[in-house]
Amino acid sequence: MTDSPAAAVFAALAANGVQARFVGGCVRDAVLGLPIGDLDVCTPARPERVMALARAAGLKVVPTGIEHGTVTVVADHVPVEVTTLRRDVETDGRRAVVAFTDDWAEDAARRDLTLNALYLDPDGTVYDPIGQGLADARAGRIRFVGNAETRIREDVLRILRFFRFWARFGREPPDPVGLAACATLADRIPSLSGERVWAELAKLLVARRAAEALGAMAESGVTDRLWPGSTDVARAVAVIGLEQSLGLQADAVRRLAAMIGGAGGAEPAASRLRLSRAEADRVRRALSVAGGPAGGDPERRARIYRTGSRAYLDARILFAAAGREPADTLVHDRDVAQEWTPPRFPIGGDDVAALGVPPGPGTGRLLRLVEDAWIADDFTGDAAACRAKLAALVDQGRQQQ
């Protein structure tokens, strides 16, 4: 926050008498001594004036959300979002019509949570217009600004943000007033875009207190509104515990797969959340790949070869999370999945053609038979051995004709 990019933005504004302060997450994280992510700045100056002053100082300007008063000023290749102070004129639960203001308290009053309604001068002076944000941030209290139901009706996504911020920062039990408001308005969650829901849920799922937050969401009826079909919060909580016991990095997509109630729920959930193609494919595989215990390392390697190491480990963890197997049996699965690199099948279609087999479906059938035998032999056969097996199959087929 004191580096040259931010300093350049503040200097461009201050040189013309424009006041500006850091706002929101970067202030909260600075107060808590956490690493700073995105830099957000607010000012009473209108976006047109911000752009003119920034350009006059030689800085690049991108009007990223000018209708809401936001422009991105780029200094030394670092983006700094600068937003004009605002008040809400009209809201519909998904988006707001805003009017610009020069009142810092009005801007603070429209924010979601008290710990996000903090402002910071470049000299280090913290401003807390609500009068609760600084104490709440330091105490790990997650509370809505003003009336909880009013804040949620302005933007229903704030239900998920309440639980997400509690999962990350909360040190006290969830605020009962906030919980009650989330429960009352949970039926509005389907009105949100899937992208927004998944963006919040993905962050929540890897937060420090994700398991407890999911439990509170389930009790409030929130998880039942995330996508069509059932949810399995207990299995997701179990997966969180298994990942921790195995020393695995928190994985939002694996935890999401665990939340989905069975393989049949993969498509509705992926469609509702607008998952990327890779995310949706991983969820499908995690829920469809057989996760039963392997008989030994050759079978483990065979299954990893056919499904991929990540899909194999996902399925095994979900299988254990359903209470079908002790968690300690997964340690060796983890080690094999992480340490063994599947080899490449050493022959292909050219080898079949070299034996005089005409192109067609028979080529694939022969290669699959040889590959199955190669896998059954624990991948020990080299190219010569596989070609010998292939030649034997071709001879056998000709003798049977």
Q: In terms of DSSP bridges, do strands 78-84 and 60-65 run parallel, antiparallel, or are they unpaired? A: unpaired
Out of 200, 223, 246, a domain closes at: 223
Are 124 and 245 within one domain? no
- How far apart are the C-alpha atoms of 196 and 228, rounded to whole Å? 16
Give the pLDDT confidence score for residue 16 in this predicted structure.
85
Neighbours of 159 (CB within 10 A): 28
Q: Which CATH number do you get for residue 119?
A: 3.30.460.10
Are 124 and 164 within one domain? no
Q: Which CATH number do you get for residue 181?
A: 1.10.3090.10
Give the pLDDT confidence score for residue 90 in this predicted structure.
67
Out of 293, 308, 340, a domain closes at: 340
Is the entire prediction scored with pTM above 0.95?
no
Closest CA to 62 of 42, 76, 47, 44: 47
Domain extent at residue 375: 349-400
Are 2 and 18 within one domain? yes
Neighbours of 10 (CB within 10 A): 22
Are 3 and 103 within one domain? yes
Are 107 and 58 within one domain? yes
Are 64 and 102 within one domain? yes
Out of 139, 156, 187, a domain closes at: 139
What are the pLDDT tens digits along the chain (401 aa)?
A: 788 889 999 999 998 899 999 999 999 999 999 998 888 999 999 999 999 999 999 999 998 888 888 999 999 889 999 999 988 776 666 666 788 999 999 999 999 999 999 999 998 999 999 999 999 999 999 999 999 999 999 999 999 999 999 999 999 999 999 999 999 999 999 999 999 999 999 999 999 999 999 999 999 999 999 999 899 999 999 999 999 999 999 999 999 999 998 778 999 999 999 999 999 999 999 998 878 877 799 999 999 999 999 999 999 999 999 887 777 789 999 999 999 999 999 999 999 999 999 999 999 999 999 999 999 999 999 999 999 999 999 988 888 77
Are 73 and 28 within one domain? yes
Q: Write the DSSP symbol of residue 157.
A: T
Are 236 and 205 within one domain? no
Are 174 and 280 within one domain? no
Are 189 and 263 within one domain? no
pLDDT digits (tens, 9 = 90+) for 265-290: 999 999 999 999 999 999 999 998 87
Are 311 and 242 within one domain? yes
Are 301 and 333 within one domain? yes
Q: What's the structural domain count of the chain? A: 4
User: 124 is written with which tokens?
Assistant: 């280090």
Give kind and range of the element (H or E) at residue 100.
Answer: strand 96-100
